[in-house]
Amino acid sequence: MSQRIGRRDLLKSVLATTAATGLGAFAGGQHWPANAAENAAMPKRRLGKTNYEVGIFSLGGQSTLEQDGTRDASLEIINHALDLGVNYIDTAVRYGGGISETYIGEVMADRRDEVFLATKSHDYSYDGTLRLCEQSLERLQTDHIDLYQHHAVDGFDELDQIGGEDGALRAFNRLQDEGVISFKGITGHTPALMTEAIERHDYDCVLISLNAADMNLNGPEDMDEFLEKAAEKDVGVIAMKVVSRGSVLDRGVNMQQALSYTLSQRVATAIVGITEVGQVDEDVEIARNFDILSGEELDAIREIALA
């Protein structure tokens, strides 16, 4: 037991230089001024074939944003994120049964042109997808969605259904032809399945779970293959589950290390669910000061995450 603890302490010391920048501690309740993005813009990356220049930190529509009774807190989080230069928001029908889309829609009514807006359909049928898309448009208070995605595709049978004659992909193509959606995407947690998805179909983006623990649990070779194939096909990669539902943090990795680990991979941006508005400041600050981690730093974070 003592040897294991000593190993973790040693690994953390490898990261001490990064942590010593002071990014790990933020004054509670203090926020940047609304014009901070003008003074120090967040780094951006090209989102694959969409050609959109997306900030490397993006807002996910989970946590507080998917909970009933959190309207005021959610609107504060969304508006504050946009004030700081966040220009990508991801949500889904399943996040609170439409609650997340509704809160985001209240902000989109006035600030739609400031963000690349992404949502999802969990219905893999043609008719079901069209029905869900119409509902999402109403809740989001917009007439178009920048990126529409199949939600949580985690089996080859689901991928078969999506691509079938009465599948969701045909609905996506229709919606794209009609100008209702701009780009098509797919989301999932299994790199090998996402590789197969972009081999079969012409997706513009993939949203995939990518964190220090998952890189090993899902097979680093599979993730490497997926990231290589995505780069080859110019598919924009959006990372999610940066802290693996909090389990990475519970093992001793801090938010700066977790987010920096993910952003050091070949991804365009990472979406993060926010619990309280101060976390927006922290994550934007991490993004603004981000430097790609060395191989030694990546290995050290992965060791702690898997301890």
Domains of the chain: total: 1
Whole-structure pTM value: 0.88
DSSP-derived secondary structure letter, 45: E
Give the DSSP per-residue string, 158-190: HHHHHTSTTBHHHHHHHHHHTTSEEEEEEEES-
Residue 121 is assigned to a structural domain of this protein: yes
Whole-number average pLDDT of the chain: 89
Q: Specify if 289 maps to a domain.
A: yes
Which residue among the candidates 88, 95, 103, 261 is catalytic per the annotation? Answer: 95
Q: Is 88 a catalytic residue?
A: no
Cα–Cα distance measured from residue 299 to residue 259, given in angstroms and rounded to the nearest whole number: 14
Q: Give residue 287's domain range.
A: 2-19+42-305
Is residue 24 domain-resident? Answer: no
Contacts by 160-169, CB closer than 8 A, 24 or more apart = 161/124, 161/125, 162/124, 162/186, 163/200, 163/201, 166/125, 166/126, 166/127, 167/124, 167/125, 167/126, 168/121, 168/123, 168/124, 168/125, 168/126, 168/128, 168/129, 169/201
Residue 26 lies in a domain: no
At 219, is the pLDDT very low, low, confident or very high (cuts 50, 70, 90)?
low
In a domain, 222, yes or no: yes
Region of poorest pLDDT, from 10-14, 23-27, 193-197, 283-287:
23-27
Instruction: Kindly tell me if the per-residue pLDDT of 211 is higher than 50.
Output: yes
In a domain, 128, yes or no: yes
- Give a yes or no: residue 25 inside a domain: no
DSSP letters of 277-295?
THHHHHHHHHHHT--PPPH
Predicted local confidence at residue 26, as pLDDT: 26
CATH number of the CATH domain containing 120 = 3.20.20.100
pLDDT per residue as tens digits for the range 18-70:
344 333 322 233 333 334 344 468 999 999 999 999 999 999 999 999 999 99
pLDDT at position 258, please? 97
